[in-house]
Chains A and B, each alone.
Chain A
Amino acid sequence: AQTVTQSQPEMSVQEAETVTLSCTYDTSESDYYLFWYKQPPSRQMILVIRQEAYKQQNATENRFSVNFQKAAKSFSLKISDSQLGDAAMYFCAYRSAFSYNFNKFYFGSGTKLNVKP
């Protein structure tokens, strides 16, 4: 089975600065999708960004971007110009592209991001 590891249980960043959250995964599959979800104190799980493994170009969504290193099985999230509203738990998730495992999502344990004013 695939595993997703987030090695940083908690991180802090100063408002307006940049922070990078780490995620690594273990898989033998060649095609898959990776996601970052944000869970603020309101507890809603919000999709932040999505990456397709066969695309070499790193995904970006406004202040959020990823550094996808397929060979290293690494998928880090960079938040630029951090804002107070970015304070949340962040979860990395993996989804297979193959039909036998199509609907299985594998989640990391999460990283709590604190943003200091």
Chain B
Amino acid sequence: DAGVIQSPRHEVTEMGQEVTLRCKPISGHNSLFWYRQTMMRGLELLIYFNNNVPIDDSGMPEDRFSAKMPNASFSTLKIQPSEPRDSAVYFCASLTGDRVGSPLHFGNGTRLTVT
């Protein structure tokens, strides 16, 4: 089991640039989550997908953020245009629907720095 794979591990960009974060969930997991972690706000859920369909995007901060899941093995989180306040660690996590009460499995996160 390769685990949840995120790329890139670090991203440094200038304000106004487009940023795309990528995630490959664990094979067979049917739910995928994007979280943002900051010192001030802790771990925030941005959006989650079930069977590739966005279910709850109420945590997406504003229209500059968008997420897609074109197939069961790939998701992207895009920020366009990026702003310094978007600097954070972004986690992708996946979940199996096969076992009731199963835990989230997290990727290693992408540390985004917007200057």
Is B101 within 8 A of A52, CB to CB? Answer: yes
Nearest-Cβ distance from residue B84 to partner chain A, whole angstroms: 20
Interface-central residue, A93, A97, A103, by most chain B CB under 10 Å? A103
Consensus secondary structure, chain A interface: strand
CB-nearest residue of chain A relative to B49? A103
Nearest-Cβ distance from residue A34 to partner chain B, whole angstroms: 10
The yes or no answer to A107 lying at the interface (CB within 8 A) is yes
Size category of the binding interface on chain B: 20 to 34
Partner of A107 from the list B43, B56, B89, B111 (CB cut-off 8 Å) is B43
CB-nearest residue of chain A relative to B110? A43
Complex formed: what's the CA distance from A41 to B89 in Å? Answer: 13
- Residues of B with Cβ closer than 8 Å to A? 31, 33, 42-43, 45, 48, 50, 55-56, 89, 91, 93, 95, 100-101, 103-106, 108-109, 111
Residues of B within 8 A of A35 (CB): 103-104
Nearest-Cβ distance from residue B23 to partner chain A, whole angstroms: 14
- Residues of A with Cβ closer than 8 Å to B? 33, 35, 37, 42-45, 47, 50, 52, 91, 93, 95, 97, 103-105, 107, 109-110
Is B108 within 8 A of A103, CB to CB? Answer: no
Is A44 within 8 A of B109, CB to CB? Answer: yes
The 29 sampled A-B contact pairs (Cβ below 8 Å) are A35-B104, A37-B106, A42-B108, A43-B89, A43-B108, A43-B111, A44-B106, A44-B108, A44-B109, A45-B91, A45-B93, A45-B104, A47-B104, A47-B105, A50-B101, A50-B103, A93-B104, A95-B103, A97-B100, A103-B48, A103-B50, A103-B56, A104-B45, A104-B56, A105-B45, A105-B104, A107-B42, A109-B42, A110-B42
